Each structure stands twice: as structure tokens, then as C-alpha cells.
Amino acid sequence: MTFQSLGLIEVLLKAVRLQGYETPSPIQQKAIPPILEGLDVLASAQTGTGKTAGFTLPMLQILAKNPVPHRRPVRALVLTPTRELADQVYTNVKHYSKFLDLRAAVIFGGVNQNPQIKHLRNGVDILVATPGRLIDLENQGHLSLSKVEIFVLDEADRMLDMGFKRDIDKIRSLIPSRRQNLMFSATFSREIKSLAQTILLRPTLVEATPENTTVEAIKQEVYRVAKEKKTNLLIKLIKDGQWKQVLVFTRTKHGANNLCKKLESARISAMAIHGNKSQGARTKALAGFKNHDVRVLVATDIAARGLDIPLLPHVVNYELPNIPEDYVHRIGRTGRAGANGVALSLVCAEETSYLTSIEKLTKQRFKKEIVEGFEPDPNASTVPPKQGGGRQRRGARPSNKRQGSAGGGGNRSNNYRRR
């Protein structure tokens, strides 16, 4: 299978070659042809599968085939849940459109809006955006979405987790009802299926990995350990294994900060990346991690979504997620692009029920290991921790002032074609 056989035009093939890709990934093989045919696509794919190129390449081809309209209205809109992901999708768009006469822009909150407005003023064909800033700028009259032909929802499951349902409905009311829709999601919950019904029209279903199972290339290990011994066990694992780059997940922002401090005191360079950090601090942490100045990146689930960190050898669940699907997302950070990765989970008594839920979801039973000197506490309670500081499943966003009418397309059919 080659990129050429997927029906991509030469200027895109040239851009792909420049990226050094030789063969299309499974999601690219499955998603590109139906998108080029103009069909709606519902794709199951997580970060690391090459999904961004999977929708960006055919999207660019469709846009490039039609003449650029006067004043360049937004013709393709890509919605992402986080700023980091928006930035990464934008970077991908820039790379692949290198030899095309198409303009792209990215907009997200947390930074000054003026440079974004200036960029929009010149006209853009492709807009990558997070929902809040998009609606703000539309409300202020800085952009119009009335000419959108292709609508992409990236990481739709995370959008719902972050409470963006109303924003999505609002945005749907701003774009034409006749359009091509592409929706990407790592998991397929009931909520995702019902969102898909309102957005997509007779979508083609494509899957990169079987639903809710974990990638085979990833070695998964579970260590039972007393809660108060977790930090020292992590330090031992990092030092003994001489790990150069490790992504560590905590359940809470507070936990991420605390762990960073302790790692730093053990002379292991670490930085935290979570929702309370400014955009600048997050970018700095990620850059430090990528260029190996920072050995450990400690992240919460939401912050880690969409981070483009290729070939990560180790991922550690310092705390197990209370949402089992997050485990699948987390460990998907390792074992990419054919390389083997190891995902380790440090599990204390109170996380026992989380572990059981993960085993159920991923249809596997873990062998539980114990490291001498770091034994679990047999008297510890198995009652799960309170969820106060952690992430909630839905409605994590504070109350939304904007009122969105769910229009733009009405009730769409759920008549799937499976590829």
C-alpha cells in the first residue's frame, strides 16, 4: 500500500515524502479513500495512529481541487479540544499544504486574540480552533463560518469529557447544513454515538484499532505498592532503568505538582503539564521534554491529550485513572510507530476497583508484581479516593454564558457503512 494508491495528488505526495513517511498507517489507508469520495467518516483512532494526516491530506485535496473563492472564506473547520492539539493539527496542515495555494490559521484561548484576528482578516481556507475562542471571535464578528464545506471534530470523546457539547451544538448552528463531516474519537461511548448521529450523515465507519482494546506493541506491567511508597518506587525505576524520557500520569493537578517537586529533590529533572499552567509554561515543559532537558513530564489526562511526543519508551501511571478509557489513551503514548514501549502502573489498595474496571475494558488480567522494599500495605483501605480534585466525566467546563441553538443539519441518519 502506498500513498499514491490512495488517490492523493502529486503535490500532497511530495509533502508526505518530505515528512519521511513511506507507507500510510492503517487509519490513513482506511480513512483517506472515503473522505476523498466526499463521504462523512466516523473514525476510531487515538493520537499516535497518524489520524491527523488521515483527515488533513484528503481535506486539502478536496479544497485544492475547487477554485479559491473571492475573499477566502473558511471552507474547512477543524475543532479540537485542547490548544496543544489545535497547534499540532495546524502544524500538520502547514506541512502538508506546503505546495498548495491554501491558507490556514489556528485560534485558541488563553492567549491574546489580536494576532489571531489579524491573521483571520487576510482570509483563511482552513481554520483549526478550540470551541471557546472560535465562538468568541465569531460573536465579535471576526469570522464567518457560513461557507464551511468540511467540518472535522478531532478527539470528539475528549470534547464531550471537557464539557464542550453545548459549544459543539452552537458551532453546528453556524455552519451550513450541507457539508462533509469527519469525526475522530478514541472511544465509542453511547454519548459519542449519539453525537455522531446529530453531526454525520450516513457515515462510513473506519477503525484503526479494535474498539476499547490496547495496542499490542505495548508491554503493560502492574506493580502493587503502598501508596506512600509510590514516589520512591518511581525514583528507583527511573534510576535503575536509566530511563531518559518518561511520561508520568497523575490524577490531579495538585498531585502532578507534588510529584514534580519530589522528583526534583531526588535530582531527576521533571516538569508538570496540566490545566492550571499557562500556555507558555506548557509549551516550555513540552519543548524541554522533547529536547531531553527534562527527563520526566508529569501530566494529568486532559493536559496530555493531543501531545505529539513520538516514540516514548516509558509511560507510568503513578495513579490509575478513575475513567478506564483514559488508561487506553495514556498507554497509547508509548509503543508508537512500531517501536516497543512499556506502560507501568503503580497501584495501591484504594485503586483496586479502578484496576478491575481497566481489566474489564481492555479484556485482560494483569500479572501483579511487587518490588522488594515497596510492598503494598495489607491493612490499607480499598475504598477509592474522593473525586473532588480530579476530573469529572462531563461538564468540567464552568457554566457557559453562550446559548447555542442546535441547528445546522437537524437530525442526521445513523445508517453506518463499515469499512
Residue 339 touches ligand AMP, criterion: CB under 6 A: no
Considering only residues 9, 13, 21, 281, which one is a binding residue for ligand AMP as defined by CB under 6 A? 21
Binding segment toward ligand AMP, per CB under 6 A, in 24-32, 146-154, 216-224, 244-252? 24-32
Report the residue number, 98 or 147, with the smaller CB distance to ligand AMP: 98
Segment 93-152, which members bind ligand AMP (CB under 6 A)?
A: none
Residue 209 touches ligand AMP, criterion: CB under 6 A: no
C-alpha cell at 181: 463531516
How many other C-beta atoms can be found within 10 angstroms of the C-beta atom of residue 3?
A: 21
Report the residue number, 23 or 177, with the smaller CB distance to ligand AMP: 23
- On whether the CB atoms of residues 232 and 373 are closer than 8 A, the answer is no
Residue 34 touches ligand AMP, criterion: CB under 6 A: no
Report the residue number, 217 or 337, with the smaller CB distance to ligand AMP: 337
Residue 184: strand pairing partners: 43
Could you give the CA distance from residue 308 to residue 84 in angstroms, rounded to a whole number?
A: 9
Report the residue number, 24 or 408, with the smaller CB distance to ligand AMP: 24
Report the residue number, 302 or 347, with the smaller CB distance to ligand AMP: 302
SS3 content of the chain, % helix, strand, coil (to 5): 40, 15, 45
Smallest separation, CB 296 to ligand AMP (Å): 21
Smallest separation, CB 30 to ligand AMP (Å): 13
Smallest separation, CB 54 to ligand AMP (Å): 7
Q: What is the DSSP string of 298-351?
A: EE-HHHHTT----SB-EEEESS--SSHHHHHHHHTTBSGGG--EEEEEEE-GGG
Residue 243 touches ligand AMP, criterion: CB under 6 A: no
- On whether the CB atoms of residues 89 and 48 are closer than 8 A, the answer is no
What kind and span of H or E run contains 240?
helix 230-240
Binding mask 266-305 for ligand AMP (x = CB under 6 A): ----------------------------------------
Q: End-to-end CA distance of the chain, in Å?
A: 16
Considering only residues 8, 30, 39, 51, which one is a binding residue for ligand AMP as defined by CB under 6 A? 51
Report the residue number, 42 or 53, with the smaller CB distance to ligand AMP: 53
Residue 24 touches ligand AMP, criterion: CB under 6 A: yes
Residue 49 touches ligand AMP, criterion: CB under 6 A: yes
Considering only residues 8, 31, 39, 53, which one is a binding residue for ligand AMP as defined by CB under 6 A? 53
Residue 47 touches ligand AMP, criterion: CB under 6 A: yes
Could you give the CA distance from residue 32 to residue 408 in angstroms, rounded to a whole number?
A: 25
Smallest separation, CB 338 to ligand AMP (Å): 9
Strand ranges, E, within 118-245:
126-129, 150-153, 180-185, 204-207, 218-224
Please name the residues in contact with 105: beta carbons below 8 A apart, sequence gap of 6 or more: 90, 116, 119, 120, 124, 126, 127, 128
- On whether the CB atoms of residues 322 and 390 are closer than 8 A, the answer is yes
Selection from 310, 385, 382 nearest residue 20 by Cα: 310
Smallest separation, CB 28 to ligand AMP (Å): 6
Compute how many residues bind ligand AMP; rule: CB under 6 A.
14
Interface positions with ligand AMP (CB under 6 A): 21, 24-25, 28, 47-53, 308, 310, 337
